[in-house]
C-alpha cells in the first residue's frame, strides 16, 4: 500500500485484510474437516450431498468470521457429537452400558442436560436483574417479595396440578420457582457475575441441545438403517430445535447489544418450552424414535423446518423483549428510580433488538414458507392448498409484514409495537402448535 | 403499501384519476384489505371446508347454515368475494409500486447535490467546525478515501461561492428491495390466479359447465360436465385398480364433480405399500406406464409420495390407495345345526353375497374393506407395551331382511392368549362404536375351528341334546337330591332340556334371568349354582361325543382346557348379532392406486415471484440507504465545514458508523491497528 502516511488509518481495510490469524485457523480447520469427511465418506455421498456439505462448510467459515463466539460453540458441538457417535459404534445397546452415552451425550441424555442447564441459566439471568446496588440495599426488599410471591405461585400451581384439580399445571410450576430462585439469589451479588454465569450456562445448554439432535440423528440409523432421518420431524424434536435456535439467536443479540438484561425474559420463555419438553418426555414418552411416515420423507424437510424455527425463534425473542419494554416503560412512568426503570435495558436498545429479531424472523419465515410451498408442490400436488397450516403461516407472515410496514412507513415505535410483538407470538404459537392440535389438515404430524 | 401518501404538492385540484390512484395506492386501503383477507382465512381454517351440506346443517341449524352458505363460507378460498378482495389487493399493490417508482428511482440515483447548508446543520447526525486547521482540499481528499473504502459512492461539486460539497451514499439497493418485495406480491398473485379456480367458476356461471352428481362411469358423463385438453390448469384425482388404466381425472367441486380429459392414458401396473420391519408404512408407490401417442414407446415410471412424475406439464402424484376388488376365500358358517358344514364363498371386496335361508328370509353380505395390516399394541411377556402387526382383516356388513345392518371385522390370523390360539371376529351395531370381539378357540391340532363348529351343531341339535340329557340325567338327579329332596327323573330331564334351550338362546345370562323371574330371591344362589353345574354336565357330555367323533377318547390337558374356552365363546354367541360367522381363510390382493394429477403452469411464475420476494425482503431489511455530505469552504488557513449523514434503517448501527466516520473525516483519530477498527464492533466506541 503506497498511500500518504496521514491517510493510512482512514482507509478502511478490505474484508480479508481485517481477518486475524484465528480467523484463518478457523477457515483451515473447517476446510480440513470437510476434506477429511469427503475423503472418508465421499464414496457414500451423491452429488447433492457433496454440494450440501460444501455449502455448509462455506457457511460455517463465514459464520465463524462474522460471529466469533460461534467458533468455540461449533467446535464443542462437533467434538461432543463425534464422541457420541463413536461411543455408539454400531450398537444402540451401548446407550445403557457406555459411560459417556449413559450420562452425557446420547440423544436423550444430552437433551436432558440441555433442559437442566436452561433452567439454571434462566435463574441466573433473573438473578442478574435483582443484583444488589453498588451502595446500599435498595432492591433487596422487592426481590424478597417477588421471591416469596413466586414461591407461593409455584406451590399453588404444583398443588393444583398434583392434586388433579387442573392436571398439567404442575409442569408450569418450575417457571415460577425459577423466578423465585433468581430473585432470592440475585441480591447476593453486586456485579454482572450472575449474568455471566447465565450466559455460560446458556452456551453450554445450546451445545448439549445440538449435540443431542446430532447424536439422535445417528441413533435413528442405529434403530434401523431404513428409518434414518434428520431429527426435526416430530413435535419433540422441533421443541429441542426451538430451544437451541432461540438461545443461540438470543446470545448473538446479547453480544451485539452488549446488554445482558434481556436474558431473564428470553430464557424464561425458552424454559417454558423446556417445561413442555419435560412433560412430553416424562409423561408421554414422546422422545422414542419412530420411523417417518412417507409424507415426511423428503429432503425439503431438512431446510423447511430449520428455516421455520429461525423465524419462530426470532418472533419469540421479540415478544419477550416486548414484555421487557413494556415493563421498562411502565417503570419509567410510575417509578423512575424503581427496579424496572433502572435494571432493565434502555428503551432504545430494547426497541432495536425487537426490530432486529422480528426482521430476521420475518426474513427466514418468508424463506421457510416458500420452501414449504415448494415441498407441498412435490408432496400434495399443489404449492398452495389453503390447508389450515398454510393459512396460519400466511397470517403470521401478514402480521409481521404489517408490523414492519408500520415501523418503516408510519414510524411507529415503542409501546404499541411492543404489545403487537407480544400478540404476534400468540398468533405464531397457534400456527406452530395450535393448528396441529385443534384444526388438523394435511399438516397434522405433531400430535399430542 | 405506499410510502408517500402526499408526494405531489401541486396547488391545482387533483383530477378524478389522481384521486382514484391515490385511494388505490394508499396504505390504509392495503391494510384494510389485508385484515379482511386474514379474517376470512381464519374463518376458513376454523370452519372445516368442503364438507357435505348435511353436516353443516346438523352443526349450525338452518338459520346459520343458510347465512354461511350464502356467504360461501364453506368454500371461502374460492368464494367470489374472497377472490375480489385478493384482486383488489393486487391492484392496490401495483398502484403503490407505480406511484412510488419515480421517487424511488430518483432517490437511488440522486446524490442530492443541491442540499442546503441549513438543512445539513439541522440533521440529527452532524458535526460542525467553524475553524478546522486543515485546508479544504486535504479534508476532502481524506473524506473521499474514508468514505470510498467503506463502500460509499461519491460525487463532488463546487458551488459559485467556492463552497465545495462532497456527497456520498451506499446501500441504494435497499430501494431496489422495495420493488422486488412488492412486485413479487403482484407476480405471486398473478401466478396463483393462473392456477386457481377462476376459469372454472366462470365456466360454471356462464353455464358452459355443469356439475355431475351421479355415480356413473366416466365414459357416460355428458359433454357439459367434461373439460378438454385446452383447460389451462386443474387439480384432479383418479383411482385406478392394478392392471387397469384411465385417461381422465375427476375434479371435485362442492357436492359434485367434473371430468377432465387427459392427453394421455395412465396405466397402473402395480401398487405397493413398503413397510418397515415393525410393520409401519415406509413408502406408498405405484408402477405407472404412460401411453401417449407423442411418445415413441410407453413411458414406465414409479411414483411415490414426495416423488411425482411430470409428463407434458402434468404432474402425477401418489395421493392415496384403496382396495381394488381383492379376491377373497371365505367360509360362511350358519350358526345352527349345520354349522359344521360351512359354505365356501368365492367373492371380491366391494362384492355382495345373498344367502336365502329355508324360512325364506334373505340375508345380504356386503364385503366393504380389506386391511392387509392392523397395527395394534400388545403387552409382551415382560409387561411392556409393544406395537405389533395383527395381520389382515376383512370388514363386512350383514343386512337382515329388513335392511338393518350389523358390522363385522374378521381377523385372518389367529391371536394367541395364554397359550391358546383364538380366531377373532369383531362386531358392532353402528360405525361409531368400537368393535367387540368374539374369541373362538382354534382346534388344538390344526388351524381351523372345526371342533367349535361341531359343538355349535351339537347344541343346536335337539335330538342329540335330548339323548345326552337322557344319559346324564341320572347323575344329574343326584345333584337335585341334595337340595330339594326326591325329584322324578322326567322332571330333571325336562328342566335340563329347558336349561340347554335357554343357554343356546341367550347364554348363561338367560338362565340367570330365568331363575330371577321364576324363583323367590332366597333360592337364587343355590339354583344358579345347581343349574350351572347341570348345564355344564350336558355340555361336557356333548363335548366328549364331539371328541369321540374326532377319534379322541380322553379328556387330556389341552382338550380339557379347550372346553373352557369354547364355553366362553358359546356363551357369547347369542350376543353376536347374527346367526352367521365368516372365517377368513385367504385373499389375493388387488389394489387401486389413488393418483392426483395437476397442471399448474403458474407454478414457475409463483416460484420466480417467491425468489424476488426473498431477495427483496433481505435487501429491504439488511441494507440501509446511507448518505453523508461534507460541505467545506476555506476559512483563513483552515476551513469551515459541516459533515452530516442520514440512514433509512438501523439507526443504532448508523450512530456508531457516523461517529467513526466523522472522527476519521475530521482527522481526529488514526487507529493503531487495522484489524480492530471495525466500527460496528469495536468495544470502546461510545454509545
Residue from A235, A216, A237, A238 nearest A227 by CA:
A216
- B675 pLDDT above the threshold of 60: no
pLDDT of residue B18: 84
pLDDT of residue B195: 87
CB-CB under 8 Å, B613 with A370: yes
- Residue in B closest to A438 by C-alpha: B46
Rounded to a whole number of angstroms, the distance from the CA of A291 to the nearest CA of chain B is 8
Q: In sequence order, which residues have a C-beta less than 8 Å from that of residue A70 and are 6 or more positions away?
A: A63, A64
CA B38, CA A394: separation in Å to the nearest integer? 8
What is the phi-psi region of residue A23: left when phi exceeds 0, alpha when psi lies from -120 to 50, beta otherwise? Answer: alpha
H-run or E-run covering B288: strand B281-291
Q: Which residues of B touch A10 (CB under 8 A)?
A: 142, 145-146, 149, 664-665, 667, 670
Other Cβ atoms within 10 Å of B442 Cβ, number: 21
CA A306, CA A240: separation in Å to the nearest integer? 11
Angle between helices A388-409 and A415-429 (to 10 degrees): 170
Distance from chain centroid for Cα B197 = 21
Residue from B668, B671, B672 nearest B134 by CA:
B668
pLDDT of residue A441: 60
Nearest to A18 among B669, B674, B687 (CB): B674
- B332 pLDDT above the threshold of 80: yes
What count of CB pairs under 8 Å joins A to B? Answer: 156
- Residue in B closest to A427 by C-alpha: B42
- The CA angle A433-A439-A442, to the nearest 5 degrees, is 90
- B434 pLDDT above the threshold of 70: yes
Nearest to A13 among B308, B606, B674 (CB): B674
pLDDT of residue A442: 56
Q: Which residue has the cell 460539497?
A: B165
Q: Are the C-beta atoms of residues A242 and A313 closer than 8 Å to each other? A: yes
Mean pLDDT is lowest, of B164-173, B407-416, B464-473, B608-617, for: B464-473
Q: Maximum CA pair distance of chain B?
A: 147
pLDDT of residue B360: 84
Q: pLDDT digits over B12-50, tens only?
A: 677 888 888 888 878 788 888 888 888 888 888 888 787
Residue B476 in grid coordinates:
344329574
CA B580, CA B334: separation in Å to the nearest integer? 5
Q: Which residues of B touch A20 (CB under 8 A)?
A: 675
Average pLDDT, chain A: 91
> Please, what sign has the CA dihedral across residues B470, B471, B472, B478?
positive
Q: Which residues of A touch B175 (CB under 8 A)?
A: none
Q: pLDDT digits over B131-165, tens only?
A: 888 899 999 998 998 899 888 999 999 988 889 99
CA B236, CA B251: separation in Å to the nearest integer? 4
Decide if B82 touches A, using CB distance below 8 A.
no
Q: Maximum CA pair distance of chain A?
A: 80
Cα dist from B305 to B37, B249, B251, B272, B286, whole Å: 32, 19, 20, 12, 10
CA A395, CA A427: separation in Å to the nearest integer? 8
Nearest to A18 among B195, B614, B678 (CB): B678
3-state class percentages of chain A: helix first, strand second, coil last, to nearest 5: 75, 0, 25
CA A340, CA A338: separation in Å to the nearest integer? 6
CB-CB under 8 Å, B3 with A409: yes
Taking each continuous run of H as one helix and of E as one strand, the counts in chain A are 16, 0
Residue B154 bridge partners (DSSP): B168
Q: What are phi and psi of A175, to 5 degrees?
A: -60, -45
CB-CB under 8 Å, B671 with A9: yes
Percent of chain B predicted with pLDDT > 70: 94
B425-450 mean pLDDT:
87
Q: pLDDT digits over B598-653, tens only?
A: 999 999 999 999 999 999 999 999 999 999 999 999 988 889 999 999 998 888 88
Q: pLDDT digits over A350-374, tens only?
A: 999 999 999 999 999 999 999 999 9
pLDDT of residue A100: 92
Q: Which residues of B touch A404 (CB under 8 A)?
A: 621
Q: pLDDT digits over A325-338, tens only?
A: 999 999 999 988 88
Decide if B39 touches A, using CB distance below 8 A.
no
Chain B, 264-303: which have a CB under 8 Å from a chain A CB? 276-278, 280-284
Q: What are phi and psi of A346, to 5 degrees?
A: -65, 155
- B1 pLDDT above the threshold of 60: no
Decide if B83 touches A, using CB distance below 8 A.
no
- A443 pLDDT above the threshold of 70: no
Q: Which of B5 and A31 is assigned the larger pLDDT?
A: A31
Q: In sequence order, which residues have a C-beta less than 8 Å from that of residue B296 and are 6 or more positions away?
A: none
Q: In sequence order, which residues have a C-beta less than 8 Å from that of residue A56 and are 6 or more positions away?
A: none
pLDDT of residue B626: 94
- A164 pLDDT above the threshold of 90: no
Residue B327 in grid coordinates:
379376491
Q: Are the C-beta atoms of residues B625 and B172 closer than 8 Å to each other? A: yes
Average pLDDT, chain B: 86
Q: pLDDT digits over B664-673, tens only?
A: 888 875 443 3
Mean pLDDT is lowest, of A24-28, A66-70, A377-381, B425-429, for: A377-381
Chain B, 148-177: which have a CB under 8 Å from a chain A CB? 149-150
- Got the DSSP string for B140-208? HHHHHHHHHHTT-EEEEEE-TTS-EEEEEEE-THHHHHHHHHHHHHHHHHHHHHHHSSHHHHHHHHTTS
Mean pLDDT is lowest, of A96-100, B301-305, B532-536, for: B532-536
Amino acid at each position: 500500500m503506497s498511500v500518504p502516511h496521514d491517510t493510512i488509518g482512514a482507509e478502511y481495510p478490505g474484508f480479508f485484510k481485517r481477518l486475524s490469524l484465528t480467523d484463518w485457523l478457523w477457515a483451515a480447520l473447517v476446510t480440513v474437516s470437510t476434506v477429511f469427511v469427503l475423503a472418508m465418506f465421499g464414496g457414500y455421498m451423491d452429488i447433492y450431498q457433496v454440494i450440501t456439505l460444501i455449502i455448509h462448510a462455506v457457511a460455517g467459515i463465514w459464520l465463524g468470521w462474522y460471529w466469533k463466539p460461534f467458533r468455540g460453540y461449533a467446535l464443542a458441538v462437533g467434538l461432543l457429537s463425534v464422541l457420541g457417535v463413536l461411543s455408539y459404534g454400531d450398537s444402540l445397546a451401548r446407550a445403557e452400558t457406555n459411560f459417556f452415552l449413559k450420562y452425557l451425550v446420547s440423544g436423550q441424555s444430552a437433551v436432558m442436560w440441555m433442559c437442566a442447564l436452561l433452567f439454571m441459566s434462566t435463574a441466573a439471568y433473573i438473578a442478574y436483574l435483582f443484583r444488589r446496588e453498588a451502595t446500599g440495599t435498595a432492591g433487596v426488599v422487592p426481590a424478597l417479595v417477588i421471591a416469596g410471591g413466586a414461591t407461593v405461585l409455584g406451590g399453588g400451581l404444583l398443588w393444583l396440578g398434583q392434586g388433579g384439580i387442573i392436571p398439567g399445571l404442575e409442569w408450569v410450576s418450575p417457571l415460577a420457582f425459577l423466578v423465585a430462585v433468581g430473585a432470592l439469589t440475585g441480591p447476593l451479588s453486586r456485579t454482572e457475575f450472575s449474568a455471566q454465569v447465565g450466559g455460560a450456562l446458556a452456551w453450554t445448554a445450546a451445545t448439549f441441545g445440538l449435540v443431542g439432535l446430532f447424536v439422535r440423528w445417528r441413533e435413528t440409523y442405529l434403530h434401523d438403517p431404513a428409518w434414518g432421518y434428520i431429527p426435526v420431524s416430530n413435535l419433540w424434536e422441533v421443541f429441542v430445535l426451538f430451544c437451541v435456535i432461540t438461545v443461540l439467536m438470543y446470545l448473538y443479540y446479547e453480544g451485539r447489544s452488549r446488554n445482558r438484561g434481556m436474558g431473564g425474559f428470553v430464557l424464561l420463555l425458552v424454559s417454558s418450552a423446556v417445561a413442555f419438553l419435560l412433560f412430553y418426555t416424562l409423561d408421554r414418552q414422546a422422545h422414542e424414535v419412530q420411523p417417518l411416515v412417507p409424507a415426511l420423507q423428503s429432503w425439503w424437510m431438512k431446510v423447511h423446518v430449520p428455516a421455520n424455527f429461525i423465524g419462530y425463534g426470532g418472533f419469540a425473542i421479540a415478544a419477550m423483549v416486548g414484555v421487557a419494554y413494556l415493563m421498562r416503560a411502565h417503570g419509567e412512568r410510575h417509578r423512575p428510580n424503581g427496579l424496572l426503570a433502572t435494571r432493565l435495558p434502555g428503551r432504545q436498545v430494547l426497541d432495536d433488538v425487537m426490530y432486529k429479531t422480528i426482521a430476521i424472523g420475518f426474513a427466514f419465515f418468508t424463506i421457510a414458507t416458500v420452501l414449504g410451498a415448494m415441498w407441498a408442490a412435490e408432496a400434495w400436488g399443489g404449492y398452495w392448498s389453503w390447508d389450515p397450516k398454510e393459512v396460519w403461516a400466511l397470517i403470521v407472515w401478514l402480521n409481521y409484514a404489517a408490523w414492519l410496514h408500520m415501523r418503516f412507513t408510519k414510524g411507529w415505535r415503542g409501546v404499541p409495537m411492543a404489545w403487537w410483538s407480544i400478540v404476534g407470538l400468540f398468533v405464531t404459537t397457534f400456527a406452530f402448535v395450535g393448528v396441529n392440535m385443534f384444526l388438523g389438515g394435511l399438516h397434522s404430524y405433531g400430535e399430542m | 403499501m405506499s410510502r408517500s401518501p402526499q408526494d405531489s404538492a401541486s396547488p391545482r385540484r387533483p383530477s378524478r384519476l389522481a384521486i382514484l390512484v391515490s385511494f388505490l395506492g394508499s396504505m390504509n386501503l392495503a391494510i384494510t384489505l389485508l385484515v379482511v383477507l386474514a379474517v376470512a382465512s381464519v374463518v376458513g381454517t376454523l370452519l372445516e371446508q368442503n364438507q357435505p351440506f348435511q353436516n353443516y346443517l346438523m352443526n349450525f341449524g338452518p338459520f346459520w347454515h343458510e347465512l354461511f352458505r350464502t356467504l360461501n363460507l364453506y368454500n371461502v378460498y374460492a368464494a367470489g368475494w374472497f377472490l375480489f378482495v385478493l384482486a383488489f389487493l393486487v391492484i392496490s399493490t401495483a398502484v403503490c409500486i407505480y406511484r412510488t417508482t419515480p421517487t424511488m428511482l430518483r432517490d437511488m440515483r440522486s446524490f442530492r447535490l443541491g442540499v442546503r447548508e441549513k438543512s445539513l446543520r439541522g440533521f440529527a447526525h452532524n458535526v460542525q467546525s467553524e475553524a478546522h486547521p486543515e485546508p479544504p482540499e486535504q479534508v476532502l481528499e481524506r473524506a473521499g478515501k474514508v468514505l470510498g473504502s467503506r463502500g460509499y459512492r461519491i460525487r463532488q461539486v463546487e458551488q459559485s461561492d467556492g463552497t465545495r460539497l462532497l456527497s456520498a451514499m451506499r446501500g441504494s439497493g435497499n430501494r431496489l428491495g422495495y420493488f422486488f418485495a412488492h412486485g413479487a406480491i403482484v407476480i405471486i398473485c398473478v401466478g396463483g390466479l393462473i392456477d386457481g379456480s377462476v376459469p372454472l367458476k366462470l365456466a360454471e356461471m356462464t353455464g358452459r359447465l355443469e356439475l355431475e352428481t351421479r355415480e356413473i362411469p366416466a365414459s357416460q358423463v355428458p359433454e357439459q360436465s367434461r373439460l378438454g385438453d385446452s383447460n389451462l390448469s386443474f387439480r384432479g384425482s383418479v383411482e385406478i385398480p392394478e392392471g387397469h388404466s384411465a385417461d381422465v381425472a375427476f375434479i371435485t367441486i362442492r357436492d359434485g364433480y367434473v371430468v377432465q380429459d387427459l392427453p394421455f392414458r395412465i396405466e397402473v401396473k402395480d401398487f405397493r405399500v413398503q413397510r418397515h420391519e415393525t410393520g409401519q408404512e415406509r413408502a406408498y408407490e405405484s408402477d405407472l406406464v404412460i401411453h401417449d401417442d407423442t411418445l415413441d414407446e410407453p413411458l414406465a415410471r414409479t411414483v411415490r409420495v414426495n416423488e411425482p412424475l411430470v409428463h407434458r406439464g402434468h404432474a402425477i402424484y401418489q395421493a392415496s390407495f384403496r382396495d381394488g376388488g381383492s379376491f377373497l376365500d371365505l367360509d360362511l358358517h350358519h350358526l345352527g345345526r349345520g354349522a359344521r358344514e360351512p359354505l365356501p364363498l368365492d367373492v371380491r371386496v366391494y362384492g355382495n353375497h345373498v344367502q336365502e335361508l329355508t324360512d325364506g328370509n334373505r340375508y345380504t353380505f356386503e364385503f366393504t374393506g380389506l386391511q392387509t395390516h392392523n397395527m395394534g399394541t400388545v403387552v409382551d411377556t415382560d409387561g411392556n407395551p409393544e406395537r405389533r402387526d395383527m395381520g389382515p382383516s376383512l370388514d363386512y356388513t350383514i343386512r337382515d331382511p329388513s335392511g338393518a345392518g350389523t358390522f363385522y371385522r374378521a381377523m385372518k390370523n389367529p391371536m394367541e392368549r395364554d397359550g391358546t390360539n383364538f380366531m377373532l371376529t369383531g362386531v358392532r351395531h353402528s360405525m361409531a362404536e368400537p368393535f367387540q370381539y368374539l374369541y373362538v378357540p382354534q382346534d388344538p391340532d390344526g388351524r381351523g375351528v372345526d371342533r367349535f363348529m361341531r359343538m355349535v351343531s351339537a347344541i343346536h341339535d335337539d335330538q342329540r341334546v335330548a339323548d345326552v340329557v337322557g344319559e346324564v340325567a341320572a347323575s344329574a338327579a343326584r345333584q337335585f337330591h341334595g337340595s330339594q329332596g326326591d325329584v322324578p327323573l322326567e322332571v330333571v330331564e325336562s328342566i335340563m332340556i329347558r336349561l340347554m334351550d335357554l343357554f343356546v338362546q341367550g347364554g348363561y345370562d338367560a338362565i340367570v334371568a330365568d331363575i330371577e323371574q321364576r324363583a323367590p330371591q332366597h333360592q337364587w344362589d343355590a339354583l344358579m349354582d345347581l343349574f350351572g353345574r347341570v348345564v355344564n354336565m350336558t355340555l361336557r357330555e356333548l363335548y366328549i361325543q364331539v371328541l369321540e367323533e374326532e377319534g379322541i377318547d380322553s379328556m387330556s390337558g389341552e382338550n380339557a382346557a379347550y372346553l373352557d374356552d369354547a364355553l366362553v365363546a358359546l356363551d357369547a354367541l347369542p350376543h353376536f348379532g347374527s346367526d352367521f360367522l365368516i372365517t377368513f381363510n385367504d385373499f389375493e390382493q388387488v389394489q387401486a392406486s389413488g393418483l392426483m394429477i395437476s397442471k399448474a403452469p403458474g407454478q414457475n411464475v409463483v416460484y420466480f415471484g417467491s425468489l424476488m420476494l426473498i431477495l427483496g425482503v433481505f435487501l429491504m431489511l439488511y441494507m440501509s440507504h446511507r448518505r453523508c455530505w461534507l460541505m467545506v469552504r476555506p476559512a483563513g488557513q483552515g476551513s469551515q465545514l459541516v459533515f452530516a449523514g442520514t440512514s433509512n434503517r438501523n439507526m443504532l448501527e448508523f450512530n456508531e458508523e457516523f461517529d467513526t466516520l466523522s472522527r476519521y473525516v475530521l482527522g481526529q483519530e488514526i487507529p493503531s491497528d487495522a484489524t480492530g477498527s471495525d466500527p460496528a464492533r469495536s468495544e470502546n466506541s461510545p454509545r
